[in-house]
A and B are shown apart, each in its own frame.
Chain A
Amino acid sequence: MPPETKEPKRTSIGLKIENFTKSYDSVEVLRNVSLDVQPGEIFVIMGPSGSGKSVLLKHVAGLEIPTNGRIMIDGKDIAHPKTRSQLHMALVFQAGALFNSMSVFDNLALFPREHRLYDKKVLNEKVMTALQTLSLEDAAGKFPSQLSGGMRKRVAIARALVMEPEWILYDEPTSELDPTMGATITEIIADLREEFGVTSLVVSHDRDLALTIADRVAILMHGDLLELDTPENIKKSENPKVKDFLNPVIDIKNPRFKRKD
């Protein structure tokens, strides 16, 4: 699915997470999580900080090995190097993880250059198309340190796009952004699915993002999968923990801290 074709092209492979457990030094951060992501879907994993969402995403990206359970893609174990090498999957990191010593152009060009995918002319076209898709054409010569937070996120998404992935994993794509930029990034995620058929697995605690663009939402809390359903059904959930998470009550009449006179 080359960026310039604009032809919706759904991925044909699904992701299945089975009885996934992760422990660090005998502390279980995720317990028996099972879920599946359908091709072409926008699947959002929500949960408060420390619930294990980013840990799960790192495993899907192949950066860590599960303590127990399996992550299967197209019926193959994702941890296997051969499966990984055949996988067209890109990860958009929370802080961008851009290469600070390279310009924006070189950040985008690194993947196709290293894999010798195109000649110089085609590579330039691909990179510039990805930058244009994210309205970043003026930033090609800049370095990551010269970019705002929102631009860094967009560059990270553009870098993922150059990889022509079937899957894009997003780690907190709207964190640390103002509401307008957060909305822009949310729209971009939805557009990428519509335009290129990219399957998106998004980890976020952004309620607006999840309930606006997700096909399905999973709620993780303290390492357990509490709920997995469509955004409409999640909104109607009777689970008190889910209700509290989605509709936090701000009580300013009963302050937690009182000055002692």
Chain B
Amino acid sequence: MKQINKLLEHFGSAVILCLRSFAYLPSLPLQWRRLIEQCYLIGYTTFPIVAILSFFIGSVLALQAGYSLAPVAAQDFIGSLVGLSLARELAPVMTAILVAGRVGSAIAAELATMKVYQEVDALVTMNIPPERILVMPRLVAILIMMPVLTVVANLIGWIGGAIVAQNVDFIQLDTRIYFQGIQNFVKFRDILDGLIKAEIFGFVTILVACNVGLRTTGGPREIGGSVTRAVVISLILILVLDYFVTSALMNI
């Protein structure tokens, strides 16, 4: 019962934080430096790992697909398989997981530190709502950067798949045929669905990180606990939401 109460408390506070933060949306033009800084931090810290991981995920997808399809001479479908898997599922989920681990943890740590060392209280006493300068720019920044990172993940993953499909002995699929497969089977709607999922996952991840960080109480020891909590909650939510969002998008 206590756990359920706690869960509902977290959920309620996250919703309130979200509403309060977006109430300060009109102040965004005055905070453009902060927004650019957050976009840069999200992009700069996540881009290299997104690039490396998506390359290898595309590669291994092509390898596994080749392993199954080559014996029946159906390599031509590798491009469509890799393209669709990445666009609809792997790119948004993987990007969100990386954002949770890299950016969400950093935000939770920063805000928890500010809370523990009373910097957040100092803002409140200055009549500067923490939601306005600490949360809202981050939420907007993730909405801007998630599609960019997801498109990058798609492109690099597809390239990784193409390199493997062409160079592995038992596959040897021409790059032109590989990309033809992507072109034929991956529709704009597939990419759009992936981007919608990425937006939702990224937004939830940053909201959870901000909420957990700002709810930190106690001493410095709690900062580590908040970081772990933020990442774990985000990962669970990404995977749970993945099913429901995918299901909802299929019905639209």
Contacts and interface: CB of A to CB of B under 8 A. Distances in A.
Interface of A: 58, 61-63, 84-85, 89-91, 93, 95, 97-100, 110-111, 114-116, 163
Contacts of B30: 116
A95 B219 CA distance: 13
A97 B126 contact: no
Contact of B118 (A89, A93, A115, A116): A93
Interface size class of B (residues with CB under 8 A): 10 to 19
Contact of A63 (B125, B127, B133): B125
B126 A63 contact: no
A63 B119 contact: no
A25 B45 CA distance: 42
B127 A115 contact: yes
Nearest to B128: A114
Contacts of A62: 124-125
A61 B125 contact: yes
A84 B125 CA distance: 9
A90 B117 CA distance: 17
B122 interface: yes
B121 interface: yes
B9 to A, nearest CB: 15
Report which residue of A97, A111, A116 has the largest number of chain B beta carbons within 10 angstroms of its beta carbon: A97
Given A58-B121, A90-B125, A97-B121, 13 more contacts: A61-B121, A63-B124, A84-B127, A85-B127, A89-B125, A91-B121, A97-B122, A98-B122, A100-B117, A100-B119, A114-B126, A114-B128, A116-B30
A99 B114 CA distance: 8
Report which residue of B30, B117, B125 has the largest number of chain A beta carbons within 10 angstroms of its beta carbon: B125
B126 A111 contact: yes
14 contacts: A62-B124, A63-B124, A84-B127, A89-B125, A97-B117, A97-B119, A98-B119, A99-B119, A110-B126, A111-B126, A111-B128, A114-B133, A115-B127, A163-B126
Interface string B90-121: 00000000000000000000000110011101
- Closest A-B pairs by Cβ, 7 of them: A97-B118, A97-B122, A91-B125, A111-B126, A114-B128, A61-B125, A93-B118
